[in-house]
Homo-oligomer: A and B are copies of this chain.
Amino acid sequence: MKKFMNAVDTVLTESLDGFVAAHADILALGDEHKFVRRRTLRPGKVALISGGGSGHEPLHAGFVGHGMLDAACPGQVFTSPTPDQMLAATQAVDSGAGCLFIVKNYEGDVMNFDMAAEMSDGVLRVVTNDDVAVENSSYTTGRRGVAGTLVVEKIVGAAAEHGLALPVLKALGERVNAATRSMGVALTSGTVPAAGKPTFDIGDGEMEFGVGIHGEPGRRRDTLKSADAIAEEICASILGDLGDKAKGPALLFVNGFGGTPLMELYLMYNSARRILEKRGVTIVRSLVGSYVTSLDMAGCSITLTMLDDEMTGWWDAPVHTAALRWGM
């Protein structure tokens, strides 16, 4: 295992300390590293809280700030945060207008966020499940929540900043999730610090097609194909799953898994965009970068969100977080 670290036990806390110190203008750290929150809260606004296992940085703490989340709860690497983390975060950032939990669909996450919701008043939740690769997986009943979660957090975050009410935000989050599909491919495995070796073995000329963001198996192991061939199959899967919805304006998000450089991500974006535009999808908004990662895994995912005017407006609204910034 080759990582910049001091000790396996302190990887997460040291990284969080650095993260909050580097962004002290907008962020603060909860006691015992239970959560990362906005430094300045906005009274009367519904609080948005997300979280999940660490190792997917900048998701979720990198999206805490104006126009997105109010707090994020980081679990240990690839391990759900515990209910007391979400409870502490809720107490810290709920200003009376209620809380919306945004939860990726993994059994541990859903269970622990639900337990925290039961212990609080005025909490609703949105569960994301944008990964079309497989039904059910290592840690999931149903579909996995992956990179599309960023899109839900951005759009609902903007609407929350604007003052929309809790049930409206929940409905909006579910609408964005329903308009969003993702699928990924891995070229190498990431390495969990506590494991000390790659999560899965993969040959020199192989890819894991439909991989999850914890290195869960996808649809199949295959020989590595060209960027165009990979983009073609992912886009066909996404469009097929969207069915009649797959026309008109869309957001195309090409996401790196942590070990893949920007040069390759923009090349994949170029392939995917060309393919999608030939099939009647108009790419009106774009995002390219490593935002929902799997430690040092090389690979990428493609996310498509079919946009309406309201969603486009919230996407464009000002955001100022550690990892996503525009308009302010």
Contacts and interface: CB of A to CB of B under 8 A. Distances in A.
A18 B266 contact: yes
Interface string A1-12: 011111100011
B273 A3 contact: no
Interface stretch (A87-95, A100-108, A294-302): A294-302
A259 B298 contact: yes
A228 B10 CA distance: 12
Interface stretch (A55-63, A157-165, A307-315): A55-63
A180 interface: no
Contact of A269 (B22, B263, B266): B22
B187 A57 contact: no
Nearest to A269: B18
A62 B262 contact: yes
Given A6-B226, A187-B2, A264 B298 contact: no
Most buried by B among A2, A207, A270, A290: A2
A260 interface: yes
Copies of this chain, complex-wide, total 2
A325 interface: yes
Given A261-B293, A263-B11, A293-B262, A268 B4 contact: yes
A31 interface: no
Contacts of A228: 6
Contacts of A224: 2
**What's the interface size class on A, roughly?**
35 or more
Nearest to A186: B2
Contacts of A270: 14-15, 17-18, 21
Nearest to A18: B270
A294 to B, nearest CB: 9
A72 to B, nearest CB: 14
A188 B2 contact: yes
A261 B296 contact: yes
Contacts of A295: 261, 263
A21 B296 contact: no
Interface in A251-297: 258-271, 273, 283, 286-288, 290, 293, 295-296
A97 interface: no
Nearest to A252: B22
18 contacts: A2-B204, A2-B205, A2-B298, A4-B187, A4-B260, A4-B267, A6-B227, A11-B263, A11-B267, A14-B267, A14-B271, A21-B269, A21-B270, A21-B283, A259-B259, A260-B296, A263-B295, A290-B290
Given A5-B226, A18-B288, 5 more contacts: A14-B270, A15-B270, A21-B270, A22-B287, A258-B262
